[in-house]
Amino acid sequence: MLNKVFDVICNFIYPNKCVLCNKEVIKREAHLCEGCLKDLKPKPRLEYLESDENIKGKVKCISPFIYAGSIKSAIWRFKFRGYKNYSKFFAGIIAKEIQKRFQNLRFDYICFVPLRKEREKNRGYNQAKCIAEDISSIIEIPCKDILIKVKSNHVQHELDLIHRRANVKGAYDVKNESEVLNKSILLCDDIVTSGSTLMECSKVLFESGANSVFCCTIAYIPKSDFSDKHQ
């Protein structure tokens, strides 16, 4: 009884908002309004990330959504407007794709792309870490803080393909190689565009002895869209 009263009060003071359209939702535990739930149509993509010759063809990435429309707006709020609670919704969708596409795989750990300390402090959280932790609780694989950012670099979304690859080179390292040696690792981030960040992180994981690395993100930007904007 007290729990129901508490839920009513919380819904009145802090109304739950739909992740996609940001309108109020009746059920506090719901992530989407009825309209968005009906219209939700993931367009998952599973691809090999482009890489240097040392690890070419070794890293697959699963992403349930195209980075466009309401998904793009939701990710923007999640990253830059403090909507940390969106993580559970995104993680739930990603986890379903992981269980579907990677069902025959066994991961030792889930990890995430780290942020620069100053950026994480200003934002209040690392969105990739939030996703990784929530996926961890769903598929019951430990989440570990394996990677560290060792170099400040320019923000990736302002650069073209060639400069993105150069921009992240040497930007990441492994904290403890003993946690990586002979392990199968699932690496999480929010968006994959050129794949440069995920590939650089994968590279240092392989160099530290990882057996395999797979990646997952909320959304992907089609290569044709990326090319058109950076011609």
Q: Which residues are bridge partners to 165 per DSSP?
A: none
* Residue pLDDT, tens place only, 126-136: 999 999 999 99
41-229 under CATH 3.40.640.10, yes or no: no
- What is the chain's percent helix, strand, coil content, to nearest 5? 45, 15, 40
**The pLDDT of residue 95:** 97
**The pLDDT of residue 10:** 40
Q: Which of residues 150 and 107 earns the better pLDDT score?
A: 107
pTM: 0.85
Any idea where the domains of the chain sit in the sequence? 1-40, 41-229
pLDDT category at 3 given cuts 50, 70, 90 is: very low
Closest-CA residue to 164 (of 58, 50, 73, 55): 50
* Residue pLDDT, tens place only, 103-142: 889 999 999 999 988 889 999 999 999 999 999 999 999 9
DSSP letter for 147, please. Answer: E
* Residue pLDDT, tens place only, 64-96: 999 999 999 999 999 999 999 999 999 999 999
